[in-house]
Structure formats: C-alpha cells, structure tokens
Amino acid sequence: MPKVSIIGAGGVVFPLTLIRDILSFAALRGSTITLMDIDAARLQHTHTGARALIERFDLPTQLVATTDRRAALAGADYVIVCFQVGGLAAYQLDVEIPRRYGIDQCVGDTLGPGGVMRGLRSIPVLLSIAQDMQELCPNALLIQYANPMAMNSWALNTTGIRNVGLCHSVQGTSQLLARRVGVPYEQVSFRSAGINHQAWFIEFRHGDEDLYPRIREVMAQRYGRAPSHAAADNGDHSQPKGDSLYEGGSERVRTAIMRTFGYFHTESSHHASEYVPYFRKNPELVREYIPERWDYFELCLAHEPPNYEKMLAQGLTPSHEYGAFIIDSMETGTARVIYGNVENRGLITNLPAGCCVEVACLVDSNGVQPTVVGDLPPQLAALNRACIAVQERAVHAAIHGDRAAVYQAIALDPLTAALLTLDQIHSMTDELLAAEAQWLPALR
C-alpha cells in the first residue's frame, strides 16, 4: 500500500478534501497518509477530521501527523504540496501594498505583484522539499497544488524530481460551459491547452457537433453587451443554478476576451481580469466588467473552522480534484486523462521551451504522460507569452536570489505595466520586498 504525504496539511478545508478523495478509492484505503505542517495546532484540526472520517467508515488507513518534514517524506510514494508560505500575513501584504498604488488584485496569487511575491516565497521551500525527496523518496511523484502554479512547477522542473501541478480550472469551466449550452457534462468532449489559469478550450464538442457557435451565441447574449451600455442593460443576469459568484455568476470578462481572441479560457472572470491590461484600469471599469466583487483574501479571512459533521455527511465521494485519481491510476493501472501542469518539452510548439504548460495527460501505472498539442492559435499563444515572461523572470529571481529580476518580473506584468510608471513599480516593489523580507532570506 502506498504512503501519501501531505505537506501543508494544516489548511482549513483543502487537505481534508484531498484525504476524502483518496479514501474514496477502494484500492487506496489501506494507504498510510502522513500529515505534515509547521503549525501544530492547525495540523491537529486536520488530523482530527481525517481520523473521524477513517473511524466513521471503519477504514484500515494508517494516519500519521508530524511537524517533521523529513520524517513525512521518508519512504513516501506520493507527496502532495498544498501550503501557502507566510500564510494570511504575507497574503495581506501581497494585495494591500499594490492596492495603494492603484493595482487592485481580487485574488493576487498567480500573476502580478501578488503572484510574483507568492512565488518568491514558495519556490525556495519547494526546492528544499525536492532536495529532501532526492534523498528520502527519489522515486516519489510530487503533486503540486500551491499557487502560483506555473511558477512553482517551472522551478520544480529544474530539480529532476517527478512532479505535476494540479488545478481545478479546467474541470470547473468545462462544467460551466456544458451547463450554458444545455448539454449533459458526461456527453461533452473538449481539448484545453495553454498555461495555468490561462489555458484555452481549443475544442468543445457534443459528439460530432462543434459547440463553439452555441457557446459564443449564449455568452454574447448574456454577457456580451458593450461596457458603455452596462448601466442601461436590463437583460436577465440572474445567476443560473449550479453557478457561483466566482465562476459563472458574472462572465463579462471572459466573454469579452473570447469575442476578441476567439476562444474561452479556463479561469474565472475575476481571476482573468488580473492577467491582461483591459479590465482593471480604474474602479468604474472594474464595476462595469465585474459588477459584484469576489475577493479571495477577504474570503480567506472569513473562513470558519472545519465542519467535520458536514464532511462526514458527504460520504466517500471524490471531488473533481485530480490528485486522488492520479494516485489510483498509478496504483491500479486504470487509464485516465487529467489536465496537468508540466514542462513544455515540445508539447505546445509556439510557447517557450522549458516553461510550464497545462495540457491533457494520460495517467496509468506508467505515471503522468503529457500529450502533444502542437501550435496554439497564434493570438492565444501571444496572450500566454505575455504571462510567461513574468513567470520566467520571477522563477529566475527565486532560484538565483536575483533582486533585479524581481523588478523586471513585476514591470513585465501586463496589468501593472498598464497602470504604473517604472518609478512607481520600483517603489511598490521596494515596499513589498521590505515588508516580506522575513520570508525572502535570499533577497534581503
């Protein structure tokens, strides 16, 4: 039976979701699950919930909790990373300092000043984990859930450790599009490719039918009205069943991107508005494109303690997260297709070699095997490359302790460049580096 080690297991909800997912598969119920976090109190919360789940269903799972990372890694077959270096204290700085300069990040964990800073904090820790893995579990697969996904995975690809970065954007958005066109999800097929949080549905079909004409029509009718007419828009913008404010409740941003560039992409309109220079130039424009604010930092602050009874009532049904499906496929040989963040070794031929791309991957007993896409439509690759430029400089800065590359990464960010002068970018970056110095020892 495999040993699965979860690093950063003190999270409020996500680690318990991953544990329930693992235990949903009969072949994995005899596993040893090791929970590791540097915060013993938060770790105990997760341990309590996981123990309740194991006891409720009378499972043979071995559960271990430790604050010793090397002990958690020793002999592991799968290592799942889901931490946030610096926690909410660092996250608050990521969003509040740029906001004083006029850069409003409703999430701030992927690109922009917030994404760069989070990457600078996370990458050295990930490299340290990879170094320990080379000694303690060299054949293990590292399943990487921490943001900024593309930057973190890019850095890990330099270590030689087997790894895959996982997100749920493809699953969530494909389900949204199926609902919008009224086709049962199990009857659609699609191809998605690009970079994390900015991958593109390059095909979306129902049997032989290309669903894109219907997608474009439905989304344009609902969200395609010109922003200048937003105040007079009396159309039905009620939230359809199954949609949330985060994804589906308001999709004017992604619809506008699709209108110009031809394709729908995988991350929510809130998130998507942070990666391009078009939608967040001033508060009025933000309100026109995103009528109701969704703020991830505020949601994190408001998190309530885990509801173990609610978790138990959900039973042993897997979520749409890919992690447990990968482990089950590798253990049983069951072939599945997932979307993973992997090194671009000729997979998307008009994106830079070595960057991190998100593509379909076959998973079975041979592991995670990425598939070749070829060229993306050129306009989509161009949008991706603008983000990849930021990622490359941030990864370089984190690996080499290159302070100049930090300024370059933030200056290359499309939204930051649209709003600030180079002098302002330097001042903001100075503030961020000074405020977060305790988590950035290589950049002090």
Question: Which domain-ending residue is among 132, 165, 198?
Answer: 165
Tell me whether residue 69 is in a domain. yes
Nearest-angstrom CA–CA distance, 433 and 398 = 12
Is the pLDDT at 232 greater than 50? The verdict is no
pLDDT at residue 13, rounded to an integer: 82
Query: Does residue 214 lie within any of the structural domains?
Result: no
* CB 102, CB 419: distance < 8 Å: yes
Q: Dihedral through CA 430, CA 431, CA 436, CA 442, nearest 10?
A: 10
Asked if residue 291 belongs to a domain, the reply is: no
Is the pLDDT reported for residue 233 higher than 50? no
Share of the chain above pLDDT 90, in %: 85
Average pLDDT of 170-196?
Answer: 96
Residue 210 tokens, joined = 């290309």
Within a domain: residue 383? no
In 274-400, beta strands by DSSP E: 336-343, 356-364, 367-370
Mean pLDDT for the stretch of residues 194-211? 97
Nearest Cα residue to 123 out of 103, 142, 139, 146: 146
Report helix, strand or coil for 77.
Answer: coil
Residue 68 reports pLDDT greater than 90: yes
Average pLDDT over residues 252-267: 96
**Per-residue pLDDT averaged across 156-166, rounded?**
97
Domain with 88, as residue range(s), is: 3-165
Q: Which of 45, 47, 168, 197 is catalytic?
A: 168
Whether 279 is covered by a domain: the verdict is no
> What is the structure's pLDDT at 248?
64
Residue 75 CA: distances (Å) to CA of 38, 78, 130, 260, 333: 20, 9, 14, 50, 21
Give the confidence band of 420 by pLDDT, cuts at 50, 70, 90.
Answer: very high
Q: What is the rounded average pLDDT of the residues 227-256? A: 61
237 part of the active site: no
Q: Nearest-CA neighbor of 429 among 402, 400, 409, 415?
A: 409
**206 band by pLDDT with thresholds 50, 70 and 90:** very high
Residues facing residue 5 across a β-bridge: 34, 79
Q: What is the CATH number of the domain that holds 93?
A: 3.40.50.720
- For residue 295, tell me if it sits in a domain: no
Strand partners, 367: 364
Number of domains in the chain: 2
pLDDT of amino acid 241: 54
Contacts of 189 (CB under 8 A, 6+ apart): 203, 204, 205, 206
Strand 198-206 to strand 188-195: parallel, antiparallel, or no bridges (unpaired)? antiparallel
| Domain final residue pick, 165, 180, 207 | 165
pLDDT on residue 250:
83
Is the separation of the CB atoms in 149 and 212 below 8 Å?
Answer: no
CA distance 318 to 395: 33
Does 112 map to a domain?
yes
- Give residue 297's pLDDT band: very low, low, confident or very high (50, 70, 90): confident
Q: Does a structural domain hold residue 64? A: yes
Residue where a domain stops, chosen among 131, 165, 199: 165
Residue 228 has pLDDT above 50, yes or no: no
Q: For residue 224, is pLDDT > 80?
A: no
Residue 307 pLDDT exceeds 90: no
Q: Look at the block and give the residue holding tokens 């080379």.
A: 134
pLDDT at 370 over 50: yes
Quote the mean pLDDT of the chain.
93
Q: Is the dihedral of CA 353, 357, 359, 364 positive or negative?
A: positive
Predicted pLDDT of residue 293: 87
List the single range of 30-44, 88-102, 103-117, 229-243 with lowest mean pLDDT: 229-243
- What would the mean pLDDT of 280-295 be, rounded to a whole number? 90
